[in-house]
Structure 1
Amino acid sequence: MAGIYFDELKVGQLFRHTLRRTITEADNVFFTALTHNPALLHLDEEYCREHTEFGQRLVNSAFTLGLMVGISVGDTTLGTAVANLGWDEVRFPKPLFHGDTIRVETEVAELRESRSRPNAGIVTFIHRAYNQHGDLVASCRRSGLQLKRPADTEERSA
């Protein structure tokens, strides 16, 4: 299992995820169409060329958010997450365009014991995505319910 248990995390711990992703036109158009978003900023190249400061289509920010969090899963929560509890402070300081490549880092911001589940704790992650130029293009705080290491695995590893 790739994910990390709640009791193995430390506040301030930083994950620099090795998985990177170049965003294609198909990614953006399919996601935008699947989510019924008719915004011309994502679908109409001519409109963007003539009527926006960017001169080209922007990557859908909801796709950017999902991709940023998705890239983090393999290193942080794969197999150890119980539930995603929420996303806060979602920001997109710079746009992404077709052909941009993103990399992601995740910081553990807070840890707290679950009051209702003795086998889990609540983790707050800060995710940050950067384009190939090193510009911050997205960030968010994400809270999740994370499993603690099972007692039987602690005994075997001791």
Structure 2
Amino acid sequence: MAGLYFEELEPGLTIEHGVTRTVTETDNLLFTTLTMNVQPLHLDSEFAKDSIYGERIVNSVFTLGVVVGIPVQETTLGTTLGNLGFEEIAFPAPVLIGDTIRVETVILSRRESKSRPDTGVVRFEHRGINQNGKLVCKVQRSGLMLKKPAEITAS
């Protein structure tokens, strides 16, 4: 598996993910309409040009999905049992169509599960940064992570 196990997710570990994502017109249009968000800031150029942004901005829930999704391959692919919660989600700057997002992940803390001896709870912080180095999303989340299986630990 590409993901890391509980024991490998040491607090303080920082991962700068190599995968980046340029947000397209199609991304914003499809995500916004599929989720029934009719906010004109995302869909209506004429409306948005008179906003404080001067143009359409990308749906923040799409941004959150990208910022949490990019790290999966290097952090939790095949080694998680799921998200337990999202905390402190912030969007300090808007994402615009055409922006390219990169992500950094920091492991904030970890603890062994009280009810499942083969798992632990890890707190992650993901930071989405655009092509200009501006922070566009910061989110903390908790994940239920598998511990290394005995056959891997013994090797």
* Residues 86-140 of structure 1 deviation map (CA, whole Å, 9 limit, x = unaligned): 1100000000100000000000001000001000000000000000000000001
Aligned match of 1:74: 73
TM-score by length of 1: 0.97
In the TM superposition, residue 55 of structure 1 has moved relative to its aligned partner by 1.3
Q: How far apart, CA to CA, are the structure 1 residues paired with 2:131 and 2:35?
A: 27
Q: Alignment partner of 2:126: what SS?
A: strand
Q: How far apart, CA to CA, are the structure 2 residues paired with 1:99 and 1:61?
A: 15
Q: How far apart, CA to CA, are the structure 1 residues paired with 2:137 and 2:73?
A: 19
Pairing of 1:1-158 with structure 2 (within 5 A): 1-49=1-49, 51-155=50-154, 157=155
In the TM superposition, residue 83 of structure 1 has moved relative to its aligned partner by 1.3
Structure 2 residue runs without a partner (length 5+): none
Q: How many residues are matched?
A: 155
Q: How far apart, CA to CA, are the structure 1 residues paired with 2:123 and 2:9?
A: 11
The one-letter code matched in structure 1 to 2:28 is N
In the TM superposition, residue 63 of structure 1 has moved relative to its aligned partner by 0.3
Q: Alignment partner of 1:58: what SS?
A: coil
Structure 1 residue runs without a partner (length 5+): none
Identity, in percent, stands at: 54
In the TM superposition, residue 57 of structure 1 has moved relative to its aligned partner by 0.6
Q: How far apart, CA to CA, are the structure 2 residues paired with 1:143 and 1:107?
A: 12
CA-atom RMSD in angstroms = 0.6
Q: How far apart, CA to CA, are the structure 2 residues paired with 1:36 and 1:5?
A: 37
Q: Alignment partner of 2:47: what SS?
A: helix
In the TM superposition, residue 154 of structure 1 has moved relative to its aligned partner by 1.6
